[in-house]
Amino acid sequence: MNPELKNNPLLQEWNTPFNTPPFQIIEISHYLPAVEEAVKLAEKEIKLITDNPDAPTFNNTIAALDSAGEKLGRISSVLFNLNSAETNKQLQEAAQKVSPVLTRFSNDITLNTKLFERIVKIFEKKDTAGYSTEEKILIERKYRNFMLGGAGLKEHERERFRAISEELSTLALKFDENVLEETNSWVLHLTERTELEGLPENLTETAAKEAVGREKEGWIFTLHYPSYVPFMQYSEKRLLREKMLRAYSSRAYRENEYDNRNIVLKIVNLRLEIAKMLGYRNFAEMVLGDRMADTPEKVEKFLEELYTASKPAAFRDLNTIKHFASENGQKELLERWDWAYYSEKLKKKLYDIDDEILKPYFSLEKVETAIFGLATRLYGLRFTANRNIPVYHPEVKTYEVYDNDDTFLAILYVDYHPRPGKSGGAWMTSYRDQKKEKNKDIRPLISIVANFTRPSESRPSLLSFNELTTFLHEFGHSLHGMLTKCTYESLSGTNVARDFVELPSQFMENYAYEKEWLDTFAMHYLTGEKLPEELIVKIKEAAAYNEGYACYRQLSFGFLDMAWHSLENNTDNDIADFENKVMAKTELFPHVDGLNMSAAFGHIFGGGYAAGYYGYKWAEVLDADAFQYFKETGIFNNKTAESFRKNILEKGGTEEPASLYKNFRGRDPSIDALLKRSGL
Ligand SMILES: [Zn+2]
């Protein structure tokens, strides 16, 4: 190693407390050379596997592959975690330079025939060689990754496979670009003050600034969420609402150069071609193979079950709003551009709780203590602040987390407030995942990053209710990451099926609605007064408000997603005809020509939710059903908590999620608890 690499802290042993990343001595110029060196090391490790003269075994191939590239993983997690939490131009450039190196490396692995042949030999004997469940799942997972990467294809097929994969990623990018372009290019430009009726002041202020920025008089409203959503909720001008909705719902469906209809057809057909090459009936079957809902039939059955169950509530919500609209003087039929407006008006009338009323009861300091305290009460965990662990920003705090018998579990980083270099939203991530190395338990380094309201000179950081549930959510993911007790890194912690991973997080959100827990900490930061009971009731009721309608809407997207990805033959259908047929059963409003969902359905055509949109509702069913068990036995019941911990939080992906769930619950999940919680 040349001296420069030798002095690169990313490549050295981390002699820090708990071997945490030595942030204070890492420089941006260290990343690229460290990654390149770590790739070389990983390639050597892979070569040791493929050159091994011994017959392939679980240990010399599967386990060895799982632990190969450890340094590389460690370095890239520091880089990409910081690129989200504390970035700048130079760091972004470093990440952009590193990304193709990593892609090339992972492609080289998937296309390594010698390696794949060894995996196949082990895979063929997976049911007869006496492997444990964890080992069997790891074998299946590795085999599947290689197969989906095209490793099992013949040489001439591989070329086509690569071409399709590349075309699909280009099409997905183009799809998103078109939607963005269409979102940006259309604006509603108003010049008369009377046209602003009903709109909140902060919205019109932003619209006025938008106009100034474009050197225009008056106000400009856009199709971006922060402008579009409140406009639809508050504008009293029905014709303007209609105009906005028509523009929003026809994005990338306007017969111009940004039209996505051909791209949708191309993506659908190419995905089908890939699925068929790999031996599946359709794309959904291919994608769902490693999910908890592991066949298209299971997903369809699930969606249908919820559809039937939520139908009465959806129509009840619709009729309530129709009635309310006519009471408020609307003579015309209720159209889709009326929904948000009347729905918001009625909500305000029924439950007038805004954030400013609740915030004083949720000071961040108290909330943190209460959430850690919840983990203590449920699982006996202990959190000790440690100021000697290096951090990447002075605002980041670190905790040592101990189990009820004082064994060390994990390091938890928390980074609460927005900064210019931080991405929006909140997330849980890790700098090191748990695994066992030569019987030594390597414990994880977990991090929660958020954008909670900052403290000001006059008041401490006070969280909105939404921020409270966000904290609980990310903390739930963290528990999954911290309590895990697995052997192999790629199965530990949150490395579970996509439709299972939100169970621990959404489960925790339930506590925000429980008086028994709120009473332990939700006190006014100035007066010490407890959060009044009638507010808690209102919060609960407001959460279930129009849930029938909302559920129906989510289901309609789920049906549409599954329909596109369950096709078994190529299609050149008109995408509107196809969509209208699929969505007819969940349609609540009169038909409007020229609107289309598919052309702007970025989740499934631009992003990674293809044949996965159902997962939102699936996870809700699981978390409601799991929490129902706690409600029946006591929300702090230690036996129930112990079972949740042993069967779910500790297990990662080492068993099939369906059996993990059953071991915890004693039966399969049922939709009943969600129906009850949502008032359906
Ligand atoms: Zn989540």
| pLDDT tens-digit readout, 493-518 | 999 999 999 999 999 999 999 999 99
Q: In angstroms, what is the span from residue 505 Cα to ligand 1's centroid?
A: 6
Residue 525 has pLDDT above 80, yes or no: yes
Q: In angstroms, what is the span from residue 203 Cα to ligand 1's centroid?
A: 29
- Give the start-end residues of each E strand in 213-260: 219-222
Task: Tell me the β-bridge partners of 441.
Answer: 436
Spatial distance between the Cα atoms of 371 and 476, rounded to a whole number of angstroms = 10
What is the per-residue pLDDT for 680? 86
387-433: pLDDT as tens digits: 999 999 999 999 999 999 999 999 999 999 999 999 999 999 999 99
What is the per-residue pLDDT for 598? 98
Residue 142 has pLDDT above 80, yes or no: yes
- Residue 3 pLDDT level (bands cut at 50, 70, 90): confident
What is the per-residue pLDDT for 331? 95
CA 31 to the chain's CA centroid: 27
- Residue 109 pLDDT level (bands cut at 50, 70, 90): very high
Longest dimension (CA), the chain: 83
- Residue 352 pLDDT level (bands cut at 50, 70, 90): confident
What's the mean per-residue pLDDT of the chain?
A: 96
- 10 Å CB burial of residue 351 (0-12, 13-18, 19+) is middle
Q: In angstroms, what is the span from residue 474 Cα to ligand 1's centroid?
A: 6
Q: State the DSSP H helix or E strand holding residue 554, giving kind and residue range, or none if neither.
A: helix 547-565
Q: Which of 124, 126, 108, 116 is nearest to 151 (CA)?
A: 116
Q: In angstroms, what is the span from residue 23 Cα to ligand 1's centroid?
A: 26
Q: Which of 399, 422, 397, 420 is nearest to 410 (CA)?
A: 399
Q: In angstroms, what is the span from residue 473 Cα to ligand 1's centroid?
A: 6
595-622: pLDDT as tens digits: 999 999 999 999 889 999 999 999 999 9
Spatial distance between the Cα atoms of 71 and 39, rounded to a whole number of angstroms = 9
- Catalytic amino acids? 474
Q: What percent of the chain has pLDDT over 90?
A: 96
Please compute the mean of the pLDDT values over residues 568-590 and round it to a whole number. Answer: 96
Q: In angstroms, what is the span from residue 504 Cα to ligand 1's centroid?
A: 9
Q: In angstroms, what is the span from residue 401 Cα to ligand 1's centroid?
A: 21
Residue with tokens 């369950």: 566
Each as own residue / partner, the long-range contacts of residues 157-161 (CB below 8 Å, 24 or more positions apart, any chain) are 157/277, 158/111, 160/277, 161/274, 161/277
Please compute the mean of the pLDDT values over residues 190-211 and round it to a whole number. Answer: 96
- Residue 354 pLDDT level (bands cut at 50, 70, 90): confident
583-594: pLDDT as tens digits: 999 999 999 999
